[in-house]
Structure 1
Amino acid sequence: MTDRDEDPYLDTEAVSEQAGVAAETIRIYLKRSRKRVADGDELRPQDLPLPDMTIGRSPAWRQSTITAWLANRVGRGRPRSEDV
């Protein structure tokens, strides 16, 4: 099994399916993350990570990157710290 098989790249559509949101929502999340970085702010754990790679003009994330992000998303079955 190759590295690509173990930790494949996901496009926006695949990320949206795993997150349970529309692909356009992922694009909005990415725009927000890019703005935070451009403004000199660090990404928060709940922010969509910047892509691991760009293929043409399309962002792509490793499965492991998205798995970690989904584990830190507030409001998707994970209680907020103030609720614990």
Structure 2
Amino acid sequence: MGDADFIDLAAIAELLGVQHNTAQVYHKRAVRGRREGTEKPWDMPAPDAVFGRRPVWREGTIRKWIEARPGTNTEAATEARRGGRS
């Protein structure tokens, strides 16, 4: 298992088409949710490994997460994020 098997937040940001800082926010929000027991189904998955202090994921892990995420800027996405609550 080498470094090439994993992707970092910069690569995830590129896959998502967002800024690096946005990917960091997704990760930090997910970490906080797991820690506080408030994790959402669309939160970024836990890292598959940590190299030094750098979290990394297998590309397959991230692609599954991207496919399962509710879309953005749509009523369906808003509904999903609210858990069916208006």
TM-score (structure 1 length as normaliser): 0.76
In 2, the alpha carbon distance for the partners of 1:22 and 1:9 equals: 19
Q: Normalized per residue, which structure has more helix? A: 2
In 2, the alpha carbon distance for the partners of 1:79 and 1:14 equals: 28
Contact residue 33 and residue 40 of structure 2 kept, 8 A: no
What is the deviation of 1:46?
Answer: 1.4
What is the deviation of 1:16?
Answer: 0.6
Opposite residue 14 of structure 1, the aligned amino acid is A
Aligned counterpart, 2:34: 37
Match of 1:15 among 12, 17, 20: 12
Aligned counterpart, 1:26: 23
Give RMSD over aligned pairs.
2.8
2:69 counterpart of 1:70? no
Gaps of 5+ in 1: none
Contact residue 45 and residue 69 of structure 1 kept, 8 A: no
What SS is found at the alignment partner of 2:57? strand
For CA contacts below 8 A with separation 6 or more, give which structure has more relative contact order: 1
Contact residue 48 and residue 58 of structure 2 kept, 8 A: yes
Identity among equivalent pairs (%):
34
Structure 1 runs of 4+ aligned residues shifted over 6 Å read none
Cα deviation, 1:10-40, whole Å, max 9, x if unaligned, reads 0111111001111111110111001111112
Gaps of 5+ in 2: 80-86
